Amino acid sequence: MIDIENAKIIFKQFLEEYKNQDDLGFDLKVIHTYHVTENARKLAQGLDLEQEEIENSTMSETVYNSIKKLECVKLTDRKTPLDYWTCVLAFIFDLNFSTSYKIVKENNYVNHLIDRFDYKIPDTKEKMEKTKKILNNYIDEKIKIYS
């Protein structure tokens, strides 16, 4: 469930940073972004994937290439259980606001979501470590750009 009080604080911070406060439709996207990131775990659980399925799965090259290109994963490219999980992680590439990147960083979402599994296949383990590094670097770079 979304933490409304935290969302209000984040929204207020965003409004203080945003120069054109008359455009509230634009500002409300921050609340939406917070909601999506706060509920990423629930979205993933809705995929009805068992922990064992993900831990024993591989990541397809198409999905891995999307991550390396800093792109969201196309729904049609998902083939394995890990592809579905990676699709949830790649939502990060669809964020657009400095506050959104800060929320992801401050809550350690990338590490939390990737490290919750013990990947059994060596190639998968390596790809997930690289994916974690790519996503964290992407967030760090976006924070630098907007700072």
pLDDT in tens, the chain (147 residues): 445 566 666 666 665 665 554 454 545 555 555 555 555 555 555 566 788 989 999 999 999 999 999 999 998 999 999 998 899 899 899 887 777 888 889 889 899 989 999 999 999 999 999 999 999 999 999 999 877
- What's the domain count of the chain? 1
Give the pLDDT of residue 11: 60
What b/e readout covers 112-126, taking b as 16+ CB neighbours within 10 angstroms?
ebbeebebeeeebee
Give the pLDDT of residue 46: 59
Give the pLDDT of residue 1: 44
Q: What is the pTM of this model?
A: 0.73
Looking at 2-146, list the stretches that DSSP marks H as alpha helix, in order from N- to C-terminal side: 4-17, 24-38, 40-45, 51-55, 61-68, 81-89, 98-106, 109-115, 122-146
Give the pLDDT of residue 90: 92
What are 123's two structure tokens?
């190639």
Give the pLDDT of residue 24: 47
What are 119's two structure tokens?
């990947």
At a CB cut-off of 8 Å and minimum separation 6, what does 117 contact? 51, 54, 55, 128
Give the pLDDT of residue 88: 87
Separation between Cα atoms, residue 13 and residue 78, nearest integer Å = 37
User: Which structural domain, as residue segments, surrounds residue 58?
Assistant: 4-146
Give the pLDDT of residue 102: 84
Give the pLDDT of residue 33: 58
